Amino acid sequence: MTGTPGGASTGAVGLVLARPTRLLGVEPFFMEFIAGIEERLAERDLSVLLHVVSAQDAEIAAYRRWAARGLVDAVVVVNRTEDDRRPAVLREVGLPAVLVGEPDGDLPAVRTDDTAPIRAALEHLVAAGHRAIARVTGPAGLLHTQARTTALLAACAEHGVVPAIVEGDYSEESGAKLTAALLELDEPPTAVLYDNDVMAVAGLGAAKERGVEVPGGLSIIAWDDSTLCRLATPALTTMSVDVHRFGELVAESVLELIAGGPVADRWSPAAVLVARESTKASPA
């Protein structure tokens, strides 16, 4: 199975990222993810055709162009959203696809467990005595953001904790702005979880600017264990995922799809808590 009418391989697998281009220069996740995909595809003389767009409508338009021109054998679909139109469009244009995240009907997917890592992060904070806990999320329309929110609310309820949840966009600006707003509350949080590394490092900077010591006055946990987190001062506690391996697993599903055989069920590597200097016992 390929994306070309005659069945000949195009030598390419498509990946469209609908996100601000400025984030790609500072957010390590997708570069590591793509590197993992590329490494495995290269073994079969395939490569990634990357296209960055501003919104999902432009992403869908790209799929239609690629299908009409036979430019890719298959596509990888990331950042699944609520009421996601992309799976239906891909079926309509006959473009083979692997979904990263929640499955959709007959389309193969590489799934992620967002519940267990959120619970592990919360347990780490609760064990340290934290009760005033906040989370800076990614865009609320993303399915993995919603899954993490559901998991956090359920876990917090078990401990009688009511978390403050604010929506970010993965950028440095939103991480800094939202952290500042949280710290200005009458009852500010003693711990904040961030949905990516960039927002967490920006949050660290915002806390320092306001004279809030980390971890003395505020504990921080970041999702994604990048070099940014390890080189920060203090080094950030993270939910660490083997992102390169994640990309390799996605590529393996793509290769099985292109070959026309069954595609195995796969899960991304589990996120594991890596405790560093940015978390300690609650000051309260």
Number of domains comprising the chain: 2
Coil, strand, or helix at residue 49? Answer: strand
Residue 170 included in any domain = yes
Burial class (CB in 10 A: 0-12, 13-18, 19+), 272: middle
Residue 4 included in any domain = no
Task: Encode pLDDT of 48-92 as tens digits.
Answer: 999 999 899 999 999 999 999 999 999 999 999 999 999 999 999
DSSP class of residue 233 equals S
Q: Cis (ω within 30 of 0) for the bond into 188?
A: no
Task: Encode pLDDT of 128-142 as tens digits.
Answer: 999 999 999 999 999
* β partners of residue 76: 15, 98
Q: Tell me, yes or no, whether 168 and 259 share the same domain.
A: no
Task: Encode pLDDT of 162-183 as tens digits.
Answer: 999 999 999 999 999 999 999 9
Q: Tell me, yes or no, whether 106 and 128 share the same domain.
A: no
Task: Encode pLDDT of 85-105 as tens digits.
Answer: 999 999 999 999 999 999 999
Q: Tell me, yes or no, whether 139 and 212 share the same domain.
A: yes
Q: Tell me, yes or no, whether 234 and 152 share the same domain.
A: yes
What's the first-to-final CA gap in the chain, in angstroms?
60
Distance from chain centroid for Cα 28: 11
Task: Encode pLDDT of 35-45 as tens digits.
Answer: 999 999 999 99
The amino acid sitting at 111 is R
The predicted structure's pLDDT at residue 260: 94
pTM: 0.92
Residue 274 included in any domain = no
Residue 282 included in any domain = no
Q: Tell me, yes or no, whether 148 and 234 share the same domain.
A: yes
Model confidence at 8, pLDDT cuts 50, 70, 90, reads confident
Q: Tell me, yes or no, whether 106 and 247 share the same domain.
A: yes
- 172-183 vs 197-209: helix axis angle to the nearest 10? 50
Residue 35 included in any domain = yes
Report the CATH number at residue 195: 3.40.50.2300
Phi, psi of 206 (to 5 degrees): -65, -40
Q: Tell me, yes or no, whether 153 and 95 share the same domain.
A: no
Q: Which long-range contacts (CB under 8 A, 24 or more apart) does 90-93 make?
A: 90/63, 93/63, 93/64, 93/67, 93/68
Tell me if 263 sits within 8 A of 83, measured CB to CB. no
Q: Tell me, yes or no, whether 91 and 76 share the same domain.
A: yes
Which range, of 2-16, 162-176, 213-227, 267-281, averages the lowest pLDDT?
Answer: 2-16
Helices (H) and strands (E) in the chain, counts: 10, 12
Residue 277 included in any domain = no
* β partners of residue 166: 136
- Over residues 113-132, the mean pLDDT reads 96
Burial class (CB in 10 A: 0-12, 13-18, 19+), 92: exposed
Model confidence at 281, pLDDT cuts 50, 70, 90, reads confident
* Residue closest to 203 by CA, chosen among 227, 163, 234, 239: 234
pLDDT at 2 over 60: no
Residue 284 included in any domain = no
Rg (CA), the chain: 20
- Comparing 63 with 8, the larger pLDDT belongs to 63
Q: Tell me, yes or no, whether 227 and 264 share the same domain.
A: no
Q: Tell me, yes or no, whether 67 and 44 share the same domain.
A: yes
Which domain, by its residues, includes 102? 12-111+242-269
Residue 205 included in any domain = yes
Q: Count of residues for the chain?
A: 284
Q: Tell me, yes or no, whether 138 and 66 share the same domain.
A: no
Q: Tell me, yes or no, whether 36 and 145 share the same domain.
A: no
**Average pLDDT value over all residues in the chain:** 94
Q: Which residue has the tokens 């990946």?
A: 15
The predicted structure's pLDDT at residue 1: 45
pLDDT at 196 over 80: yes
pLDDT at 3 over 60: no
